[in-house]
Amino acid sequence: MSQVTTNQSDSGATSSRRALGDVVIMALRERWDVEEDAARRFVRRHQNLYAEDLIGFMEELEMHLARMHHARFGHEAVPEVLRRAVVYGLDYLISSRVGLSEKQLADFIQYANDEVASERTRASDTGTQNTVHPKNVI
């Protein structure tokens, strides 16, 4: 009889953990625009932590990146830059057992800045989007 009770409580704990994982996945997708597959891998990788702890960690990572950006560039980061830097950090944490270093975080901020700047430049430079460049003529 105790075996049946144990199995029922185990399945209840599993479904409860799955529901909490879904909450984290939804938060990662909505707030930081993380792809669903990456969010699921992150939750699975850290399945022993509470949902509040995972979301709190991501918020702390975002705040730390924002402070680093301000210290490095002298102004607040554009939300898209922070979002991308957080995603880079999350991707690294999914695939590595080692924590993030300050150098890696600084690199993620730089990559995100470069990407956003490049996209904005392409979007604002309407002359180069559909221009056919002639071959070198002598």
Tell me the pLDDT tens digit for each residue of 68-117. Answer: 999 999 999 999 999 999 999 999 999 988 889 999 999 999 999 999 99
* Residue whose C-alpha is closest to residue 42's, from 107, 104, 86: 86
For residues 51 and 24, is the Cβ–Cβ distance under 8 A? yes
- Tally of CB atoms within 10 A around 88: 20
120-138 pLDDT, tens per residue? 998 887 765 555 545 544 4
CA distance 123 to 107: 24
Range 17-46 average pLDDT: 90
pTM: 0.75
For residues 66 and 105, is the Cβ–Cβ distance under 8 A? no
Torsion of CA 106, 112, 113, 119, to 10 degrees: 170
